[in-house]
Amino acid sequence: MTAARAEHARRRILGVLLASALASAASACGGASTEGPETVALPPANPAAVREYMAGVRLMNREGDRYERRALARFRKAVEIDPNLWEAHYNLGVLLRRRGELDEAAAAFQRALAINPTASEPLLASAEVAYAQGELEEAAERLEALVARAPDDLAARVALAVTLRERERYQPALEQAREVLIRDPSNVRALLEVGRIYRAREQYDVAQLVLGKALQLTGEDDATLRAEIQNEQGLLELDRGDTQAAFLAFDAAIALDASYKPARMNMGSVLLHAGDYAGAQAQYEAVLEQDRDDLSARVALGIAFRGQGEMRKARREYERVLRVDPDHPDALLNLGILRAEFVDERPQSRANFEHFLRVAPRRHRGRPTAEEYLRIIPAPEPQQR
């Protein structure tokens, strides 16, 4: 798996699993909570705050940025009037999470939990945000707490299996997914996760059987879930080394749901490796039509431009990413390669590789490349005074 594809997959998996948790607003206001085995006595909610809150709920269920912004204002007004209205803090976090404001969303969920520690919704949502921020240990701890509190919360169990697998704790992850299937043998999400666990263990034949079963159990009307399973089958074929079979699986996923970004990202990766840079460009541009802020797609688009000799366009994409995220490892690495090999700026590229090594994860596959460039590019001589 390329670094860009791995990053993209990491950011989407838990969000898919917990989509229902973040899409629905809490509707009760004040009083005693009955979310878990224990209850917390809460004071009656301020009626004025409740009116603001309910107006926010109505707005957040309408589509469009202007409705979201108005809903945010309503929830902020609600918690200003009544700081103990945990549901308003929670829904404020939901909207902030949708808008990609992760730190602010995490703070809102934590405020909701501080007021009502027995509420499951903010605990589940805070785990999702921790995951999106790369805090796997923290996400797992919160999910474990939720599962201990609510053993029949199957979505939380599947999400916990995801975080355990991401930490390479395959057996505990498998146990969580199997526990879901004991309670609900037709749970496609759990089957999908079992398939991923077996793929991670390189037990490809078993993974293929499980993914096939998941596809059988998925209704024809659920095109996005079917596309996700097909995409997973494509990743399995890549791991097996069968690029043609992977291409067909990704193509099938896109045919099922043309808006399913992971399949387009993976198809683009296959086309890049095959030297079809124009075809890869089309896939990444389709992703960016849906989400112009997808930084992984922008880096990959830059690689596709570079492959076609469009160095100025490639550089523009890398620099555009770095304006948003100055520490983006893949953008730093690819800008360094572009400067070292294609635009006669080899001495200047050293700064990009040094920056990359400072911020890239220890397991980033580009580390040996950056280290090799630093070995062959001489360090600048110290200036004489």
What pLDDT does residue 15 have? 40
Residue-level length of the chain: 385
Question: Quick one: tokens of 153?
Answer: 């919360």
Kindly state the average pLDDT of the residues 353-378.
Answer: 95
Kindly state the average pLDDT of the residues 283-288.
Answer: 98
Amino acid at 180: V
DSSP string computed for 169-210: -HHHHHHHHHHHHHH-TT-HHHHHHHHHHHHHTT-HHHHHHH
What pLDDT does residue 231 have? 98
CB 329 within 8 A of CB 356: yes
Amino acid at 187: N
Best CA proximity match to 189, nearest among 172, 169, 209, 210 = 210
Hey, where are the domains in the chain? 1-160, 168-274, 290-380
Is a pLDDT exceeding 70 seen at residue 20?
no
Same fold for the pair 168-274 and 290-380: yes
What pLDDT does residue 3 have? 38
Instruction: Give the distance between the most distant pair of CA atoms in the chain.
Output: 75
**7-16, 22-31, 308-317: range with lowest mean pLDDT:** 7-16
**Domain 290-380: what homologous superfamily?**
Tetratricopeptide repeat domain (1.25.40.10)
> At the top level of CATH, which class does the domain 168-274 belong to?
mainly alpha
Tens digits of residue pLDDT in 128-162: 899 888 888 889 999 999 999 899 999 999 999 99
Phi, then psi, of 95 in degrees rounded to 5:
-70, -40
Tell me which DSSP letter residue 99 carries.
T
What pLDDT does residue 214 have? 97
Task: State the Cα–Cα distance between residues 353 and 362, nearest whole angstrom.
Answer: 14
Pick the CATH number of 1-160 from 3.40.630.30, 1.25.40.10, 1.10.600.10, 3.40.50.970: 1.25.40.10
CB 124 within 8 A of CB 133: no
Amino acid at 108: A
CB 227 within 8 A of CB 218: no
Tens digits of residue pLDDT in 196-231: 999 999 999 999 999 999 999 999 999 999 999 999
Break the chain down into helix, strand, coil percent, rounded to 5. 75, 0, 25
Amino acid at 55: A
